[in-house]
């Protein structure tokens, strides 16, 4: 089965949808890693963010750049699957939630210690969010 099969108000995702969504998560991770590679080793940007008072700024490590889009992508996928199963407007509801989450996520880059770090981190958020939203809402 390579497509979405509708049964009443609920829909079940087929193998094609699972593959597309898995590739979407992978693409989001790869894109974030590529941006990190360009920003840190190539451009020499220190991706530092402010932390709690009296603590030094924290570096955004490559592991975090891999884990964050992976976890967010899998959680987003799970939420979308649940919404698609239980409501006919699941994809629309998910898209609204995803855009709100993306907007809220800019609180992270806002804590960057330099303008360069803020721009690179914001670019990572936009690219990851854009890939996930476009990939998951694709029919």
- Residue 51's pLDDT is 85
Average pLDDT for residues 9-36, to the nearest whole number?
A: 86
Residue 16: per-residue pLDDT? 83
Interval 61-79: pLDDT, tens = 999 999 999 999 999 999 9
β pairing state of 48-49 and 58-59: antiparallel
**Burial letters for 18-27: b for 16+ Cβ neighbours within 10 Å, e otherwise?**
eebbeebbeb
pTM of this prediction? 0.86
pLDDT above 60 (res 37): yes
Provide the mean pLDDT of the chain: 90
- CB atoms near residue 32 (< 10 Å): 24
Place of tokens 């992508």: 73
């Amino acid at each position: 089965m390579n497509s979405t099969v509708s049964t009443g108000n609920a829909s079940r995702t087929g193998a094609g949808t699972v593959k597309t969504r898995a590739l979407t998560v992978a693409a989001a991770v790869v894109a974030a890693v590529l941006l990190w590679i360009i920003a840190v080793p190539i451009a020499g940007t220190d991706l530092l963010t402010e932390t709690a008072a009296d603590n030094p700024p924290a570096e955004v490590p490559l592991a975090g750049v891999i884990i964050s889009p992976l976890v967010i992508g899998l959680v987003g996928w799970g939420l979308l699957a649940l919404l698609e199963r239980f409501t006919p407007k699941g994809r629309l509801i998910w898209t609204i939630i995803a855009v709100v989450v993306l907007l809220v996520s800019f609180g992270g880059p806002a804590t960057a210690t330099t303008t360069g770090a803020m721009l690179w981190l914001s670019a990572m958020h936009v690219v990851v969010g854009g890939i996930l939203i476009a990939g998951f809402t694709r029919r």
